């Protein structure tokens, strides 16, 4: 395997560029009276936010700058995503938090749900109570939480949310899921048609482009462009670059030191079982269901996050992805102190190595650069174990 520079499209906007451009756009939208709802998790049904005529914006933070400030209130030994997100709010340095009229949290992991209590002292934070299993009782409870969230949005903004508005939002979000899925499933092509670095960055950057339909159009056009280039230049050729699947915690904060690094070492990241990958896009909301709240409840409760217990569906989905993307090795990324992913890693390791017979690497890390060299060494050693 030869070291390679990752080729990115000429108009490629880095995650930082997209985030900065989004600030200006959001300022303009706010000046024109936009309603903004900040959120932290794939479990929050954005359809209801759109149905309220509001814009959803992701508040998960991916840099370590605000972490020292956050550690004045939070334990050091806590997930960097939680500390950084809280740190931005505490230091009033995230324009998206600043512009949010309401913040929505959820009871996913312990660290996040307790952090939301502190966040509520800075800005009103409404917390959805997410059950952690998928039986009928949990489903009924979660449907109730979805109705309660709709009522909260109605009270907060002084509006009525109609069922038709929810149905329309479901159709728009389903289109987005299908568009993103077609883009991410380009990774099934062999040789890989683009870098995993581009794929992940484009998905994350998309959350700072607030026109949902325009975002879909842009991704569709990029999908067509990548496919055309693959057909013309790569189809029928072969490569010795190993094909990797990345699974685990959200990886935007460690993308440079893991995804970019492993691709520069000569591998292709072709698939992501993550929240900035295909995880939330696998299942659509059932548009034919007569009860819209039940349709939303079913879809969202099935997200394969490790906070669910048991969570066999994630193991099954990882196994399926390994086959469908013809994967040669799996890297699991666990953010420091993320207990649910860390424990579930045992099962994922078993599926990857025993059921599928391919190498697995687990990297526990945070947002600092302190372990960059060590991770680079481990990635290089991991690639040596792949038989390709």
Q: Which residues bind ligand BJ8 (CB under 6 A)?
A: 41-43, 79, 81-82, 108-109, 111-112, 249-250, 275, 303, 305, 307, 335, 338, 340-341
CB 328 within 8 A of CB 242: yes
Q: How far is residue 382's CA from residue 321's CA, in Å, rounded to a whole number?
A: 20
Q: In this complex, which beta carbon is closest to ligand BJ8, that of residue 207 or of residue 340?
A: 340
Which DSSP symbol is given to 13? Answer: P
Q: In this complex, which beta carbon is closest to ligand BJ8, that of residue 223 or of residue 365?
A: 365
Which DSSP symbol is given to 108? Answer: S
Closest approach, Cβ 13 to ligand BJ8, in A, equals 23
Q: In this complex, which beta carbon is closest to ligand BJ8, that of residue 262 or of residue 307?
A: 307
CB 345 within 8 A of CB 85: no
CB 325 within 8 A of CB 271: yes
Q: In this complex, which beta carbon is closest to ligand BJ8, that of residue 307 or of residue 361?
A: 307
* Tokens standing for residue 130: 């997410």
Closest approach, Cβ 60 to ligand BJ8, in A, equals 7
Closest approach, Cβ 160 to ligand BJ8, in A, equals 29
First to last CA, the chain: 10
Closest approach, Cβ 337 to ligand BJ8, in A, equals 6
Closest approach, Cβ 38 to ligand BJ8, in A, equals 14
Q: In this complex, which beta carbon is closest to ligand BJ8, that of residue 108 or of residue 223?
A: 108
- Burial class (CB within 10 angstroms; exposed 0-12, middle 13-18, buried 19+) of 206: buried
Secondary structure (3-state) at 333: strand
Closest approach, Cβ 207 to ligand BJ8, in A, equals 12
Q: In this complex, which beta carbon is closest to ligand BJ8, that of residue 104 or of residue 109?
A: 109
Secondary structure (3-state) at 275: coil
Q: In this complex, which beta carbon is closest to ligand BJ8, that of residue 84 or of residue 292?
A: 84
Closest approach, Cβ 382 to ligand BJ8, in A, equals 22
CB 341 within 8 A of CB 373: no
CA atoms within 13 A on the CB side of 101: 20
């Amino acid at each position: 395997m030869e070291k390679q520079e990752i080729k990115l499209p000429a108009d490629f906007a880095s995650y930082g560029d997209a985030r900065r451009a989004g600030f200006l756009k959001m300022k303009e939208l706010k000046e024109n009276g936009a309603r903004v709802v900040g959120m932290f998790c794939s479990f929050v049904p954005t359809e209801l936010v759109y149905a309220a005529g509001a814009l959803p914006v992701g508040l998960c933070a991916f840099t370590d700058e605000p972490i020292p400030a956050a550690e004045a209130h939070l334990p050091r030994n806590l997930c960097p995503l939680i500390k950084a997100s809280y740190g931005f709010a505490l230091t009033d340095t995230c324009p998206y938090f600043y512009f949010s009229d309401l913040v929505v949290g959820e009871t996913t992991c312990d660290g996040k749900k307790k952090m939301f209590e502190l966040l509520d002292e800075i800005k009103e934070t409404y917390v959805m109570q997410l059950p952690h299993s998928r039986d009928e009782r949990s489903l009924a409870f979660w449907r109730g939480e979805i109705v309660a969230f709709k009522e909260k949005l109605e009270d907060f903004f002084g509006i009525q949310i109609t069922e038709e508005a929810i149905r329309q939002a479901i159709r728009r979000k389903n289109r987005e899921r299908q568009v993103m899925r077609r883009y991410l499933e380009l990774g099934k092509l062999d040789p890989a048609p683009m870098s995993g670095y581009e794929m992940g960055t484009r998905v994350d950057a998309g959350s700072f482009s607030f026109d949902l339909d325009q975002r879909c159009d842009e991704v569709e056009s990029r999908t067509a462009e990548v496919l055309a280039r693959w057909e013309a230049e790569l189809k029928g050729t072969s490569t010795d670059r190993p094909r990797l699947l990345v699974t685990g915690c959200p990886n935007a904060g460690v993308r440079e030191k893991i995804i970019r690094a492993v691709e520069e070492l000569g591998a292709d990241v072709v698939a992501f079982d993550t929240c900035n990958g295909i995880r939330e896009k696998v299942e659509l909301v059932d548009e034919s269901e007569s009860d819209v709240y039940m349709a939303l409840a079913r879809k969202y409760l099935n997200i394969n996050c490790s906070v669910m217990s048991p969570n066999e569906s994630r193991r099954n989905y990882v196994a399926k992805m390994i086959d469908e993307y013809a994967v040669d090795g799996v890297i699991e990324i666990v953010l420091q102190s993320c207990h649910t992913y860390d424990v579930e890693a045992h099962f994922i390791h078993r599926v990857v190595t025993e059921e599928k017979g391919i190498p697995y690497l687990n990297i526990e890390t945070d947002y600092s650069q302190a372990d960059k060299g060590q991770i680079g060494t481990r990635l290089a050693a991991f690639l040596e174990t792949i038989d390709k």
